[in-house]
Amino acid sequence: MTIKQTLNSVCVWIDSTALSQAIQNAPWVVPTVQTVHILAIAALMASMLMINLRLAGVVGRDQPLARVSGRFSPVIWWMLPLLLISGIFLIIGEPARALKNNIFQIKMLLVISAIFVTWFATSPLKKSPAHWDSRAGLATLVALISVSLWVAIIFAGRWIAYF
């Protein structure tokens, strides 16, 4: 079987499950879960931006980066599982709309990259709070990449509906 055929049969199988049928038969579920998904990404985006603006030295320079990261990183790590769970619900409700969609596939690659960059930026701060102080140029670059990736994820999320 080719990848495409496998993906097809996976979609057909998900579609036939009781949970998928239940989601499809209750029209309020998808918009409700999408709303939760958006509120979670709102919390993540604002936290991500606060960390990256400090990382690039644009905002909040009166407090150490480690403190900003300590305040906002946990929000990101808590929102990710919530986004994953709500996202999986949406996939189960409309498997073909997501899994077979090129934009969705790109979005998943972007998510993995964004998580890696966020981890790369924030995890060294726990053991060495001054980690980025001597690497200002790289810090700005990392912040820029991180913001761009998360913004691209939002755009991809909206564009899934159009492909």
Partner 1 sequence: MNIDSLLKSLEAFEFATAIREGEVLFPWLESIHVLAIVLVVGSIAIVDLRLLGWASRDRPVGTLTAEVLPITWMAFVVALITGALMFCAKAMIYGHNTYFLLKMGFLVLAGCNMLFFNRFSHKNVGTWGAPGSAVPQAAKVAGGLSLLLWVFIVVFGRWIGFTT
Nearest to residue 114, comparing CAs of 144, 84, 149? 149
CB of 91 to partner 1, least distance (A): 18
Binding mask 96-135 for partner 1 (x = CB under 8 A): ----------------------------------------
Choice from 11, 14, 44, 51 touching partner 1 (CB under 8 A): 44
38 binds partner 1, rule: CB under 8 A: yes
Number of residues that bind partner 1 (CB under 8 A): 30
Tokens of 46: 């604002």
Q: Interhelix angle for 65-93 vs 18-25, to 10°?
A: 90
Stretch that binds partner 1, among 44-52, 106-114, 115-123, 128-136 (CB under 8 A): 44-52
CA distance 66 to 3: 44
Handedness of CA 73, 77, 82, 85 (dihedral sign): positive
Tokens of 115: 């998580």
Q: Which residue lies nearer to partner 1 by CB, 10 or 57?
A: 57
CA distance 104 to 25: 24
Binding site for partner 1 (CB under 8 A): 27, 30-31, 34-35, 38-39, 41-47, 49-50, 59-60, 62-63, 67, 71, 151, 154-155, 157-159, 161-162
